């Protein structure tokens, strides 16, 4: 009996300390090397994130918002904290949101961020939690979040202490705000956000309600004043920049305004601050706050956030591999599930697309659609791991069409930013439909897709250069840096997907039209260079032409954020056709290998993200895929702030790593076949949603004699030995077990 009891206690102890998926996440991965992620507190696909803001600096700090361009509120290279931002984006390429900055200070009240900011130490971040210690004040600053609310806890030393809400600063190009003191513990207001990627029309307000758990000794507003040369005012304090107002003022509006709370704190006294936000109204912000956080309980909210994350991350369990590899994998899943995030309030209300009207939903309404990135692999991964959520995302896209007349391109909080190229909703939706997710209005989906694919350019918001594309089969270079080739390549993959969708719906004439269009990439192929090349309006190739121009993000005629090598192989729907243009399979393989050998592959540039997998389409060449994928995982992904190879692009970089580490990848959006590669882990167990995938579980096993055995000898789907190096969606989700036999030399 004693032996049994001891065994139970030991096993119980081991169980209690066993690491869960959430424990492997390192939110600091991607916070350097232009990854633009952040370590802030957020729930899976939550509206609220509470993020340390460190890209505004003091005069002595070389990182300064006034002289630097930042698309993220946080960079691991910086160490000057100016508050917690409420509502931020993760892994995007343009500055937006990152406002409502909450800052604790001590000593004499100062409301100039360059003066009140502080360096910090002892950073800690876990999913749903962040903390640091502000060295200037010896304050511990902590943050956690629910889906629509944030909660901060500041532990102060003894003496004069302050809490500041700065409504003037942030990443956004708009700074207008209004704030009102409701009572001695609560304030409410709104702040204008917008102009993502310099789109002047994409402006929208965020509404907030903030409450502290202790009434201050005194509170009031501040407002930054315009410089008045030659005038000396009695209230001219802090170098003449700010005027302080008492709480008797009804409300305050302006470009640079804020609210201050004064306290006399005891040593180690903690004050909690909660904030609810809404993109509909102040009333909804208060409803969100009171519903999700009726009281103040920091540890309870933190635990709930961690539990939510662990539930979502546990969809996939990995065994074997190193601790760093597990960290990279689960952090990738963490980044995958930040965006798109919900937009509706707890009562179901949300701002309708490009409208002043308020909509209502009984499900989830999503926002932040970086579709030019995510249609390539995030869509497929969401379909496999989170199909119900994926359906809500697609239904949201169709509702945007109903509200606005167009499918989204790069939507942000109900506004269309028109960022990047193409017609990316088409492959995003079609890929999911082809893989079996069909519980949405497919006729409306087709109507919306066809509109974008057939409307003349002067009326076409998604394809403004459609007239040339329709009449010529390509987009000519009409201005030196108009990204014409990039545009056309996106139209080709969209039209190929639309052709397959039309064919499946019995629309044969449309299917032929769109399929023929999808092959227009052949116009761009230049035998002289062996690459795609811009074409002038008269039909001749652009000259002089350098296929490497753009490799360092300098402007490149015809190509966006890259060069001809980054785009030439981006015709995933017709790889065999491209090989024929290049002179046959061997020349294609040699040409593709040259991309890697000569350093022309950019893992952070999405058009070439699937390049390593293209070798597997050719007999005897799949070993190149297996070798390159392993090498790229090793070289480009790390358990460190620079651990993402460039902009995370709302989960796209991570989705590449997740698929690659599991051993298969969707090389062509809309094609239900995955390309196989050797898994990183000995065993991967995927919990499939039985509503969509009745098998309920997929176990991926790898048998190898040593860590260098990375080449595939055989793969078995269930009891069936696969003949090639691809597996269909249906085969994968019904296999039960996918078993790899690996060896250390290739055939």
Statement: residue 132 has pLDDT above 80: yes
Classified as helix, coil or strand, 715 is strand
| 140 belongs to a structural domain | yes
Domain ranges, residue 560: 315-743
Overall size of the chain counted in residues: 747
Q: Is 290 exposed, middle or buried (0-12, 13-18, 19+ CB in 10 A)?
A: middle
Q: Which of 240, 65, 255, 96 is nearest to 179 (CA)?
A: 255
Residues 482 and 598 both lie in one domain: yes
Residues 282 and 336 both lie in one domain: no
Cα–Cα distance measured from residue 376 to residue 361, given in angstroms and rounded to the nearest whole number: 28
Q: At 144, list the tokens.
A: 């956690």
Domain end (from 311, 333, 353): 311
| 649 belongs to a structural domain | yes
Q: Is 328 exposed, middle or buried (0-12, 13-18, 19+ CB in 10 A)?
A: buried
**pLDDT above 90: percentage of residues in the chain:** 87
Residues 232 and 342 both lie in one domain: no
Rounded to 10 degrees, the C-alpha dihedral 31/34/35/41 comes to 40
Classify 321 in phi/psi space as left (phi over 0), alpha (psi -120 to 50) or beta. Answer: left
Residues 283 and 323 both lie in one domain: no
| 17 belongs to a structural domain | no
Average pLDDT (682-699) is 98
pLDDT at residue 172, as a whole number: 80
Sign of the four-CA dihedral 168, 195, 413, 377:
negative
Cα–Cα distance measured from residue 277 to residue 86, given in angstroms and rounded to the nearest whole number: 8
Statement: residue 58 has pLDDT above 50: no
The domain that holds 544 is classified in CATH as 3.30.2080.10
Residues 669 and 699 both lie in one domain: yes
Displacement of CA 248 from its chain's centroid (Å): 43
Domain end (from 287, 311, 335): 311
Kindly report which listed range (344-348, 461-465, 703-707) carries the lowest average pLDDT score: 703-707
Cβ distance 208 to 276 under 8 Å? Answer: yes
Cα–Cα distance measured from residue 232 to residue 135, given in angstroms and rounded to the nearest whole number: 35
| 4 belongs to a structural domain | no
Residues 255 and 389 both lie in one domain: no
pLDDT tier at 171 (50, 70, 90 boundaries)? confident
Residues 364 and 415 both lie in one domain: yes
If residue 104 lies in a helix (H) or strand (E), which one and from where to where?
A: strand 101-106
pLDDT tier at 241 (50, 70, 90 boundaries)? confident
| 489 belongs to a structural domain | yes
Average pLDDT (93-108) is 95
pLDDT at residue 150, as a whole number: 98
Convert the pLDDT of each residue in 552-594 to its tens digit.
889 999 999 899 999 999 999 999 999 999 999 999 999 999 9
Query: Are β-strands 316-319 and 341-342 bridged in parallel, bridged antiparallel, or unpaired?
Result: unpaired
Statement: residue 468 has pLDDT above 90: yes
Average pLDDT (406-434) is 96
Q: Within 10 A of 324 (CB to CB), how many other CB atoms are there? A: 15
Max Cα separation, the chain? 91
pLDDT tier at 226 (50, 70, 90 boundaries)? low
Cβ distance 462 to 371 under 8 Å? Answer: no
Residues 281 and 415 both lie in one domain: no
680 to 426, 557, 727: CA distances (angstroms): 32, 39, 18
Residue owning tokens 């995370």? 648
Residues 257 and 338 both lie in one domain: no
Cα–Cα distance measured from residue 35 to residue 643, given in angstroms and rounded to the nearest whole number: 8
Q: Within 10 A of 294 (CB to CB), how many other CB atoms are there? A: 9
pLDDT at residue 6, as a whole number: 41
More confident residue, 8 or 508: 508
Q: At 458, list the tokens.
A: 């002067």
Residues 300 and 323 both lie in one domain: no
Classified as helix, coil or strand, 130 is strand
pLDDT at residue 553, as a whole number: 82
Statement: residue 228 has pLDDT above 60: no
Residues 344 and 464 both lie in one domain: yes
Query: Phi and psi of 79, rounded to 5°?
Result: -145, 35
HSE-CB for 182 with a 13 A CA cutoff = 13
The domain that holds 137 is classified in CATH as 2.70.98.10
More confident residue, 8 or 732: 732
Cβ distance 669 to 497 under 8 Å? Answer: yes
Q: What is the mean pLDDT of the chain?
A: 93
Domain end (from 286, 311, 336): 311
Convert the pLDDT of each residue in 502-538 to its tens digit.
999 999 999 999 999 999 999 999 999 999 999 999 9
Q: Which of 153, 133, 156, 132 is nearest to 143 (CA)?
A: 153
| 16 belongs to a structural domain | no
pLDDT at residue 64, as a whole number: 45
Query: Phi and psi of 673, rounded to 5°?
Result: -90, 140
Kindly report which listed range (18-22, 129-133, 583-587, 688-692) carries the lowest average pLDDT score: 18-22
> How many domains in the chain?
2
Statement: residue 121 has pLDDT above 80: yes
Residues 191 and 260 both lie in one domain: yes
More confident residue, 564 or 604: 564
pLDDT at residue 743, as a whole number: 95
If residue 491 lies in a helix (H) or strand (E), which one and from where to where?
A: helix 484-504
Neighbouring residues of 388: CB distance < 8 A, sequence distance ≥ 6: 689, 691, 692
Tell me, yes or no, if the pTM score tops 0.85. Answer: yes
| 1 belongs to a structural domain | no
Convert the pLDDT of each residue in 295-330 to its tens digit.
999 999 999 999 999 999 999 999 999 999 999 999
Cα–Cα distance measured from residue 570 to residue 568, given in angstroms and rounded to the nearest whole number: 6
| 60 belongs to a structural domain | yes
């Amino acid at each position: 009996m004693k032996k049994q009891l001891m065994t139970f206690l030991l096993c119980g102890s081991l169980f209690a300390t066993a690491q869960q998926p959430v424990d492997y996440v390192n939110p600091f991965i991607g916070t350097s090397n232009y990854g633009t992620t952040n370590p802030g507190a957020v729930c899976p696909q939550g509206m609220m994130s509470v993020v340390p803001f460190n890209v505004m600096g003091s005069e002595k700090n070389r990182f300064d918002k006034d002289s630097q361009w930042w698309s993220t509120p946080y960079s691991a290279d910086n160490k000057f904290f100016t508050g917690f931002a409420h509502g931020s984006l993760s892994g995007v390429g343009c500055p937006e949101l990152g406002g409502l900055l909450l800052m604790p200070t001590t000593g004499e009240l100062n409301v100039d961020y360059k003066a009140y900011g502080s360096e910090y130490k002892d950073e800690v971040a876990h999913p749903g939690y962040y903390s640091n210690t502000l060295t200037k004040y010896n304050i511990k600053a902590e943050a956690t979040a629910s889906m629509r609310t944030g909660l901060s806890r500041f532990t102060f030393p003894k003496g004069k202490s302050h809490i500041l809400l700065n409504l003037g600063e942030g990443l956004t190009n708009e700074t207008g705000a209004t704030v009102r003191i409701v009572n001695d513990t609560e304030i409410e207001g709104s702040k204008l956000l917008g102009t993502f990627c310099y789109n002047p029309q994409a402006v929208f307000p965020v509404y907030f309600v903030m409450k502290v758990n202790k009434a201050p000794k005194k509170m009031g507003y501040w407002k930054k004043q315009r410089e008045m040369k030659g005038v000396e005012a009695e209230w001219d304090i802090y170098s003449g920049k700010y005027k302080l107002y008492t709480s008797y003022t009804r409300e305050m509006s302006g470009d640079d305004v804020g609210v201050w709370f004064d306290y006399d704190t005891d040593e180690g006294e903690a004050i909690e601050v909660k904030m609810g936000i809404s993109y509909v109204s102040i009333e909804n912000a208060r409803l969100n706050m009171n519903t999700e956080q009726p009281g103040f309980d920091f540890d309870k909210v933190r635990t709930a956030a961690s539990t939510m994350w662990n539930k979502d991350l546990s969809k996939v369990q990995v065994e074997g591999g190193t601790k760093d590899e597990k960290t990279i994998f689960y952090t990738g899943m963490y980044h995958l599930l930040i965006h798109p995030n919900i937009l509706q309030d707890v009562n179901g209300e949300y701002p309708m697309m490009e409208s002043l009207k308020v909509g209502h939903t009984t499900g989830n309404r999503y926002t932040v659609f970086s579709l030019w990135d995510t249609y390539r692999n995030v869509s497929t991964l969401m379909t496999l791991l989170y199909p119900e959520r994926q359906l809500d995302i697609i239904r949201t896209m169709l509702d945007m069409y109903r509200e606005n007349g167009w499918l989204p391109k790069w939507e942000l909080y109900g506004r269309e930013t028109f960022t990047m190229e193409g017609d990316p909703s088409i492959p995003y939706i079609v890929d999911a439909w082809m893989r079996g997710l069909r519980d949405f209005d497919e006729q409306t989906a087709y109507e919306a897709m066809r509109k974008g694919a057939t409307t003349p350019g002067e009326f076409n918001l998604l394809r403004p250069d459609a007239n040339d594309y329709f009449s010529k089969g390509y987009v000519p270079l009409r201005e030196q840096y108009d990204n014409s080739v990039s545009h056309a390549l996106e139209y080709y993959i969209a039209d190929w997907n639309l052709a397959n969708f039309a064919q499946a719906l019995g629309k044969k004439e449309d299917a032929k039209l769109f399929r023929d269009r999808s092959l227009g990439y052949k116009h761009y192929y230049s035998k002289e260079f062996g690459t795609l090349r811009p074409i002038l309006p008269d039909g001749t190739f652009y000259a002089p032409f350098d296929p490497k121009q753009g490799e360092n993000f300098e402007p490149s005629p015809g190509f966006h954020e890259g060069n001809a090598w980054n785009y030439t192989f981006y015709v995933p729907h017709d790889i065999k056709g491209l090989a024929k243009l290049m002179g046959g399979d061997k020349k294609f393989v040699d040409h593709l290998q040259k991309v890697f050998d000569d350093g022309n592959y950019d893992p952070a540039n999405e058009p070439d993200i699937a390049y390593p997998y293209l070798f597997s389409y050719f007999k005897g060449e799949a070993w190149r895929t297996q070798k390159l994928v392993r090498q790229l995982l090793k070289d480009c992904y790390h358990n460190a702030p620079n651990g993402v190879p460039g902009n995370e692009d709302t989960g796209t970089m991570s989705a590449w790593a997740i698929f690659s580490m599991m051993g298969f990848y969707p090389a062509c959006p809309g094609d239900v076949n995955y390309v196989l590669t050797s898994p990183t882990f000995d065993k991967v167990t995927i919990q499939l949603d039985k509503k969509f995938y009745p098998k309920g579980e997929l176990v991926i096993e790898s048998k190898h004699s040593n860590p260098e055995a990375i080449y595939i000898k055989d793969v078995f789907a269930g009891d069936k030995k696969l003949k090639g190096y691809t597996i269909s969606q249906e085969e994968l989700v019904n296999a039960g077990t996918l078993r790899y036999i690996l060896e250390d030399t290739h055939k």
